[in-house]
Amino acid sequence: MPQSKPKVVITRKLPDAIETRMAELFDVTFNLDDAPMSQTALAEAVKGADVLVPTVTDRIDAGVISQAGPDMRLIANFGNGVDHIDLASARQRGITVTNTPGVLTGDTADMTLALILAVPRRLTEGERLLRSGEWHGWSPTGMCGHRIWGKRLGIIGMGRIGQAVARRARAFGMSIHYHNRKRVPESVEAELEATYWESLDQMVARMDVISVNCPHTPATYHLLSARRLKLMKPTAYIINTSRGEVIDENALARMLEAEELAGAGLDVFEHEPAVNPRLLKLDNVVLLPHMGSATIEARIDMGEKVLINIKTFVDGHTPPDRVLEDLI
């Protein structure tokens, strides 16, 4: 890394406080219009950069990484998930990758619980009814949904966010179940009163609500396939605040249309920013624009982690949030 200020390219608009500090510490190229950069623009950017700061909207594939100049040694991702970065190609080029874990856990868990509440209780349906002018007052059978107290919640991915969801759901009287690549420690299971399912098939068939909280990797692509979705009870709900690619979205839309599932709450989509038009037509689906971690506090915390990772790396030390390919 050169002795002068490192050249840092930021692909999207970040909070003002973070960009100001970046400008003080580094030689920064900002994205002033905040539009996602094309693959051509990303490839051009890495030719002269020492550090790239991408987001989930950027596809840092082998083609982009192959264009990196000799001083490009760090990809400091603004976000937790790194499925949009070709980690193997980065490793082959000797480029370190970092992310921002931990700081968005609570906010994403809050949004997950909000969807768990919103879908069974038909909150957005009720809001649309009221705004339409078609609501004619209270009735004993009007807008009846389902309670979540006493229902079984199946969490797919019991990491930081999955555990935070479990803690919140327990406070609402839900029974906690989970499937994870590795079983969590007994102390965590005891705290959450959580039941572990080694078989995902067996778990999804028994749950009232499924919450997707695992990362998108080659192993989790369409983890909830058409076959597996068919195992769910027709009275069950599915919530996804993780990555859209984990669910076969076309199969999900078909089942929701056929009322083979009771409803869904989706904050992420398989082909973002495109949303399956069939989902847009359904009343039993709550759709959000990937805003699970969208709090001012989380965005600033994420930016501060990026700053620390860059500064630590530039100073010749291992950054605290280095992503290890074999752990993804």
Best CATH choice for the domain 105-287 from the list 3.90.650.10, 3.40.50.12780, 3.40.50.1380, 3.40.50.720: 3.40.50.720
Q: Is the pLDDT assigned to residue 274 strictly greater than 90?
A: yes
Residue 224 — φ and ψ, nearest 5°?
A: -95, 80
Q: Lowest-confidence range among 68-72, 172-176, 321-325?
A: 321-325
- The domains of the chain are located at 7-102+295-327, 105-287
pLDDT band at 325; cut points 50, 70, 90? low
Name, in order, each residue with C-beta under 8 angstroms of 211's C-beta and a sequence gap of 6 or more: 112, 116, 153, 154, 155, 156, 162, 165, 239, 240, 241
Q: Is the pLDDT assigned to residue 327 strictly greater than 80?
A: no
Average pLDDT over residues 131-155: 97
CB atoms under 10 Å from CB of 76, counted, come to 25
Average pLDDT over residues 139-168: 97
Q: pLDDT tens digit string along 97-107?
A: 999 999 999 99
pLDDT band at 4; cut points 50, 70, 90? confident
Helix 105-118 and helix 160-171, axial crossing angle in degrees, nearest 10? 50
Average pLDDT over residues 298-308: 97
Dist CA 28 CA 31 (whole Å): 10
Average pLDDT over residues 59-70: 96
Under 8 Å between Cβ of 271 and 290? no
Best CATH choice for the domain 7-102+295-327 from the list 3.30.930.10, 2.10.260.10, 3.40.30.10, 3.40.50.720: 3.40.50.720
CA distances (Å), 204 to each of 10, 167, 212, 252, 273, in order? 41, 20, 11, 14, 28
Q: Tokens 């689906």 identify what position? A: 285
- For residue 3, the model assigns a pLDDT of 57
Q: Is the pLDDT assigned to residue 2 strictly greater than 60?
A: no
SS (H, E, C) 240-261: ECCCHHHECHHHHHHHHHCCCC
Burial 24-37 (b: 16+ CB within 10 A, else e): eebbbebbeeeeeb
Q: Is the pLDDT assigned to residue 56 strictly greater than 50?
A: yes
Residue among 50, 84, 86 at smallest CA distance from 314: 50
Catalytic positions, written as ranges = 243, 272, 290
Average pLDDT over residues 40-59: 96
